[in-house]
Amino acid sequence: MRKAPYLFIAPFLIVFAAFGAYPLAYAFQLSFTRWHGAGQARWVGLDNYLFLLTNPEFWESLANSAVMWLLVVPVQIVAGLAAAVLLANARLKLKSFFRVAFIAPFVTPLVAMAQVWIVIFDQDYGLVNYVLNADIGWLTSTTWSKPTLALLFLWKTTGFAIIILLAGLQAVPAQVYEAAALDGASRSRQFWSITMPLVRRSIAFLVVIQTLAVFQMFAEPFVVTEGGPYGSTTTAGLYLYDHILASDLGTGAANSFLLVLLVFVLSVVSVRLLRAKDE
């Protein structure tokens, strides 16, 4: 048996084992213990998982993340696909400029954007209330805090969605559209019968990635609202951080694996719903 191929991939395997597989296995073992970062970890079995599953704050954080998902992902898919279609097909001037403008927020540091968001949506001195001539607590109201954070997330990540969908659109052969046009298919018919089925995989990939991102959301609520008001923006990612901050590492590890399981189930459901009938 030749050893050369295994020697070539050995560095990757060593790095993955040291910084991927081992920490994952250790965290899984830690989730069954009570440990605060010092001393001997005490085995508690399923107590950490049972504590989380019976804790209202845990379910509230999941509910907050679910609402954020509803505010972000469907809007992002529709808006991203519309922008990608325009960039791919429409005869727009400065098309390259628009592509750069869409992706610029995605590569901008999130903390800087969050600070801008705080200034813009300030209740007393913010630009939004000044323009609307209103006195709305965008970041201090349980009604408006989630939509305001969702808008920040959309501004930050929609450029990434456009790039993914644009790549899917550009992979569709132009001959397919030409044949459809010769058969008398209208633009709307081409979109629903050709574009949508052929970019279905790109949409499914985007839904999975953004579902993971939404349920991991941490920096946005941490910097902008600190989880308030009254826990209305305490997302699943921020709630997990609270356990780490309290040095409750066993419960934090159990929380992380529950989130992994939840995101996995949601991803499988999304992929099954979006896959083609013949797949």
Assigned fold of 68-274: MetI-like fold (1.10.3720)
Query: Is 70 a residue whose pLDDT tops 60?
Result: yes
What is the reported pLDDT for 279?
A: 56
Q: How confident is the model at residue 92 (pLDDT cuts 50, 70, 90)?
A: low
What is the reported pLDDT for 276?
A: 58
Query: Is 93 a residue whose pLDDT tops 80?
Result: no
Q: What is the residue whose two structure tokens read 């399923």?
A: 46
Tell me the average pLDDT across 23-49.
87
Could you tell me the residue ranges of all domains in the chain?
68-274
| Residue 212 and residue 160 in contact, taking contact as beta carbons nearer than 8 Å | no
Type of residue at 109: P
How far is CA 106 from each of CA 36, 157, 165, 221, rounded to the nearest angstrom? 36, 5, 15, 17
Tell me the average pLDDT across 34-47.
85
Query: Is 277 a residue whose pLDDT tops 60?
Result: no
Tell me the average pLDDT across 108-123.
89
What is the reported pLDDT for 151?
A: 93
Containing 33, the helix (H) or strand (E) segment is strand 33-34
* 229-247 residue pLDDT tens: 888 899 998 998 888 888 8
Query: Is 44 a residue whose pLDDT tops 80?
Result: yes
C-alpha dihedral, 141 to 144 to 147 to 149, nearest 10°: -30
pTM, two decimal places: 0.86
Residue (of 206, 139, 225) closest to 168 by Cα position: 206
Query: Is 20 a residue whose pLDDT tops 60?
Result: yes
Q: Which of 62-76, 116-130, 163-177 has the lowest mean pLDDT?
A: 163-177
Q: What is the 3-state secondary structure (H, E, C) of 71-90?
A: HHHHHHHHHHHHHHHHHHHC
Average pLDDT, the chain: 86
Beta pairing class for 42-43 and 33-34: antiparallel
What is the reported pLDDT for 94?
A: 66
Query: Is 90 a residue whose pLDDT tops 80?
Result: no
What is the reported pLDDT for 195?
A: 82
Q: How confident is the model at residue 1 (pLDDT cuts 50, 70, 90)?
A: low
How far is CA 121 from each of CA 14, 108, 112, 149, 261, rounded to the nearest angstrom? 48, 19, 14, 10, 35
What is the reported pLDDT for 108?
A: 84
State the burial class of residue 239 (Cβ atoms within 10 Å of its Cβ: 0-12, 13-18, 19+): buried
What is the reported pLDDT for 86?
A: 82
What is the reported pLDDT for 110?
A: 87
* 146-189 residue pLDDT tens: 999 999 999 999 888 988 898 888 888 888 888 888 878 788 88
Quickly list H helices, the chain.
Answer: 4-16, 22-30, 47-53, 56-89, 95-107, 110-120, 127-132, 145-170, 174-182, 187-190, 196-198, 200-215, 219-224, 236-245, 249-274
Tell me the average pLDDT across 108-116.
87
Query: Is 127 a residue whose pLDDT tops 60?
Result: yes
